[in-house]
């Protein structure tokens, strides 16, 4: 066990960089006395937060000690299980250990620990709640643990699949299983824990709750990518496809996200560094929402998913309209991820969730394609954006082995895509082609795929006798050459920061009075009191008891007479519609 002051520093690092980022397991008072904490709790916390500690005891060997403390935590947890003394702190420890394992790229242990914790939670009844109106410290603690565990399971749990042996006993196969949200049970899960907001009040559905919600959608994205890799599923333009279902859920989430959580209302770039650091419990989940939102769009529309099979022609197998639209969406949202990177770097905001590294890697793989665009401006801009992603991922790799592993694969993918020979490179540019190593691309898109090669026989979780010769023909070294026929229709403009809400619609007015008033300036803003009364064109935004931070008069970015379709009609408008509506 480390010295007491070293443990205290690690606990402070946990609450600064891990609390609500993404786990919500404790309050400060829960860990105020180290002597009263169980050993597995301390060891799990150390394994998770050491990378953020500046204590001299851990300096220069945080990665080594993190692995050691993770092993000690697992041993103590298994002893509790063997003795039949599992408590809430045991499940809390498993949650921290799961995230620490993911940071260390121990993917097998991630699956083991999150599934054990989920089993304990269900056996202990943490997944059900009979009194939703109960407000007590114990009830809130159980709710925090359940929803933190739910988030981990959606983000890092194993894919759900079942055998179709009922239909075919001769040659059964695994089929993916999807929840039917129309069939609801009378059994109810726990309520969301109450979040503190500015002024000392509480709020049932704060920013952390929306992060949990989006993590559930991310699980569906993982399933969709796996289907694209291993099955002959419905084409994405089918109304029954995972692409369509996920897109519908994503649009529904947009309509329900409160106004003050949205990009152009939060004003991350306008806030002081000190303010951002003091409120990491809000801003880290907010950044998760932004990165995850754009990564979902980038992944769903990734050019690789629809051009990766060598027996298929991307231009013949995929309708031209879908190919054009999806590639533009991938370009837009991958560009937004680079914008978020620039924002975070400008504010020197320390990222504390390794999932962000995976988001950045996916954005980089999208920009690889546009590095061969025919338009020189787009091609050179894509090269800069790709380099930005690689540099930022390299910074995260200094913290976490999992990001280091993804960085290595990304760099190898880039090196294989772009020949070093100048004549070959110029020929590829003139032809507009890109060579993609399919195995590396699948491993980046499916980050849990790294688990298959992250442990050598005899090390980690399994004995070498349990390993089989892995002859994975689906992921052998294969290169697909894709020709880039399409360029985005416009350069992405990041000067405005994006439009987070659908355009407002004013009251109908007759043509004569409209002409008398004149069209007005496009950048004219409404007073805050008036803007709150202007209805939205597409959907209403739920009101909340209080914003989690001050919201100066930033509720509207358009005038009352603004035509919501003008941005799409007028080619000279500064508001490029397909970019402006692309943000959360």
- Predicted pLDDT of residue 266: 92
Q: How confident is the model at residue 249 (pLDDT cuts 50, 70, 90)?
A: very high
Q: Which of 121-125, 368-372, 521-525 has the lowest mean pLDDT?
A: 521-525
Between 467 and 389, residue with greater pLDDT: 389
> For 256, what's the count of Cα atoms within 13 Å in the CB-facing half-sphere?
14
pLDDT value of residue 512? 45
Judge if the upstream peptide bond of residue 22 is cis by omega within 30 degrees of 0.
yes
Structure token digits, residue 364: 């980089």
- Residue 427: pLDDT over 50: yes
CB-CB contact of 534 with 560 (8 Å): yes
Mean pLDDT over 170-179 rounds to 75
Q: What's the pLDDT at 145?
A: 97
Higher pLDDT pick, 396 / 108: 396
Task: Average the pLDDT over 483-498 and give the result.
Answer: 54
Q: What percent of the chain has pLDDT over 70?
A: 72
> In this structure, are residues 361 and 368 in contact, taking their beta carbons and an 8 Å threshold?
no
Interval 349-385: pLDDT, tens = 999 999 999 999 999 999 999 998 888 898 899 999 9
User: Over 70: is that where the pLDDT of 462 sits?
Assistant: yes
Residue 556 pLDDT class (50, 70, 90 cuts) = very low
468 pLDDT band (50/70/90 cuts)? low
Does the pLDDT at position 93 exceed 80? Answer: yes
Tell me 539's DSSP state.
-
Closest-CA residue to 10 (of 73, 59, 71): 59
76-88 pLDDT per residue, tens: 999 999 999 999 9
Report how far residue 290's alpha carbon sits from residue 114's, in angstroms, rounded to the nearest whole number: 25
The reported pLDDT for the residue numbered 480 is 75
Q: Which residue has the higher pLDDT, 312 or 122?
A: 122
Q: What is d(CA 375, CA 486) in angstroms, rounded to the nearest whole number?
A: 10
Question: What's the confidence (pLDDT) of residue 47?
Answer: 98
List, as one string, the DSSP characters of 349-414: PPP--THHHHHHHHHHHHHHHHTT-SSHHHHHHHHHHHHHHHHHHHHHHTT-HHHHHHHHHHHHHH
199-230 pLDDT, tens per residue?
Answer: 555 666 789 999 999 999 999 999 999 888 87
CB 47, CB 71: distance < 8 Å: no
Arithmetic mean of pLDDT, 427-431 = 56
Q: For residue 98, what pLDDT is reported? A: 97
Q: In angstroms, rounded to a whole number, what is the distance separating the alpha carbons of residues 8 and 174?
A: 48
Q: Say what percent of the chain tops pLDDT 90.
A: 50
Q: Specify the pLDDT at position 164.
A: 75
pLDDT, the chain, mean: 79
The model's pLDDT over 301-337, given as tens digits with 9 standing for 90+, comes to 999 998 765 445 444 467 888 888 899 999 999 999 9
Q: Which residues contact 560 (CB under 8 A, 6 or more apart)?
A: 504, 506, 526, 530, 534
Those residues whose C-beta lies under 8 Å from the C-beta of residue 521, and which sit 6 or more positions away, are 559
Q: Which two tokens stand for residue 421?
A: 């020979």
Q: How far is CA 116 from CA 91, 126, 234, in A?
A: 9, 14, 34
**Per-residue confidence band for 466, with pLDDT thresholds at 50, 70 and 90:** confident
Whole-number pLDDT of residue 507 = 43
Instruction: Quick: pLDDT tens for 391-414.
Output: 999 999 999 999 999 999 999 999
**Tokens found for residue 96:** 């921290």
Lowest mean pLDDT among 91-100, 182-191, 260-269, 311-320: 311-320
Across the range 63-70, mean pLDDT stands at: 95
Residue 186 is predicted with a pLDDT of 77
Q: What is the pTM of this model?
A: 0.82
What is the chain's alpha carbon radius of gyration, rounded to the nearest angstrom? 25
Q: How confident is the model at residue 158 (pLDDT cuts 50, 70, 90)?
A: confident
Question: According to the model, what pLDDT value does residue 285 have?
Answer: 97
Over residues 3-33, the pLDDT tens digits come to: 999 999 999 999 999 999 999 999 999 998 8
Q: How far apart are CA 231 and CA 343, in angstroms?
A: 38
Q: What's the pLDDT at 491? A: 56
Residue 529 — pLDDT band, cuts 50, 70, 90? very low
Q: Which of 384, 390, 388 is nearest to 407 (CA)?
A: 390
The length of the chain is: 584
**Rounded to an integer, what is the distance from CA 430 to the centroid of its chain?**
35
Q: Which of 550, 553, 566 is nearest to 504 (CA)?
A: 566
More confident residue, 232 or 495: 232
């Amino acid at each position: 066990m480390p010295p007491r002051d070293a443990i205290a520093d690690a606990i402070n690092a946990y609450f600064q960089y891990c609390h609500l980022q993404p786990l919500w397991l404790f309050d400060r008072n829960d860990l105020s006395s180290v002597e009263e904490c169980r050993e597995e709790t301390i060891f799990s916390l150390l394994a998770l937060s050491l990378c953020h500690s500046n204590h001299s005891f851990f300096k220069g060997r945080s990665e080594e000690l993190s692995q050691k403390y993770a092993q000690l935590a697992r041993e103590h947890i298994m002893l509790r299980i063997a003795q039949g003394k599992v408590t809430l702190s045991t499940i809390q420890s498993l949650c921290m250990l799961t995230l620490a394992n993911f940071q260390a790229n121990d993917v097998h242990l991630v699956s083991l620990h999150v599934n054990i914790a989920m089993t304990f939670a269900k056996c202990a009844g943490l997944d059900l709640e009979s009194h939703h109106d109960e407000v007590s410290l114990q009830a809130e603690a159980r709710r925090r643990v359940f929803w933190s565990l739910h988030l981990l399971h959606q983000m890092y749990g194993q894919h759900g699949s079942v055998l179709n042996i009922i239909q075919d006993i001769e040659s059964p196969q695994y089929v993916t299983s999807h929840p039917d949200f129309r069939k609801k049970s009378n059994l109810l899960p726990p309520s969301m824990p109450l979040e503190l907001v500015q002024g000392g009040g509480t709020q049932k559905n704060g920013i952390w709750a929306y992060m949990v919600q989006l993590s559930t959608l991310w699980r569906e994205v993982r399933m969709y990518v796996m289907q694209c890799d291993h099955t002959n599923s419905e084409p994405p333009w089918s109304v029954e496809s995972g692409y369509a279902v996920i897109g519908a859920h994503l649009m529904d989430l947009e309509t329900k996200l409160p106004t003050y959580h949205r990009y152009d209302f939060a004003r991350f770039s306008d806030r002081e560094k000190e303010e951002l650091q003091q409120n990491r419990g809000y801003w880290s989940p907010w950044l998760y929402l932004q990165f995850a939102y754009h990564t979902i769009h980038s992944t769903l529309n990734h050019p690789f998913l629809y051009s990766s099979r060598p027996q298929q022609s991307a231009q013949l197998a995929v309708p031209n309209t879908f190919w054009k639209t999806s590639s533009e969406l991938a370009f837009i949202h991958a560009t937004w991820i680079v914008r978020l990177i620039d924002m975070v770097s400008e504010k020197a905001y320390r990222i504390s969730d390794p999932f962000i590294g995976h988001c950045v890697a996916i954005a980089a793989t999208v920009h690889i394609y546009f590095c061969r665009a025919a338009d020189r401006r787009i091609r050179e801009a894509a090269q800069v954006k790709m380099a930005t992603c690689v540099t930022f991922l390299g910074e995260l790799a200094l913290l976490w082995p999992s990001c280091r592993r993804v960085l290595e694969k990304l760099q190898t993918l880039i090196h294989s895509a772009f020949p070093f020979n100048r004549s070959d490179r110029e020929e590829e540019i003139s032809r507009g082609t890109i060579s993609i190593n399919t195995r590396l691309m699948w491993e980046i898109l499916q980050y849990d795929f790294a688990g298959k090669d992250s442990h050598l026989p005899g090390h980690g979780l399994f004995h070498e006798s349990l390993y089989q010769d892995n002859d994975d023909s689906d992921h052998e070294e294969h290169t697909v050459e894709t020709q880039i026929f399409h360029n985005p229709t416009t350069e992405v403009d990041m000067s405005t920061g994006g439009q987070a809400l659908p355009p407002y619609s004013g009251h109908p007015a007759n043509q004569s009075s409209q002409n008398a008033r004149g069209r007005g300036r496009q950048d004219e803003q409404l007073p805050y009191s008036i803007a709150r009364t202007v209805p939205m064109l597409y959907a209403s935004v739920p009101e909340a008891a209080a914003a989690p931070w001050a919201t100066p008069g930033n509720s509207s970015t358009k005038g009352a007479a603004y035509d919501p379709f003008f941005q799409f009609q007028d080619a000279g408008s500064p508001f490029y519609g397909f970019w402006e509506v692309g943000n959360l």
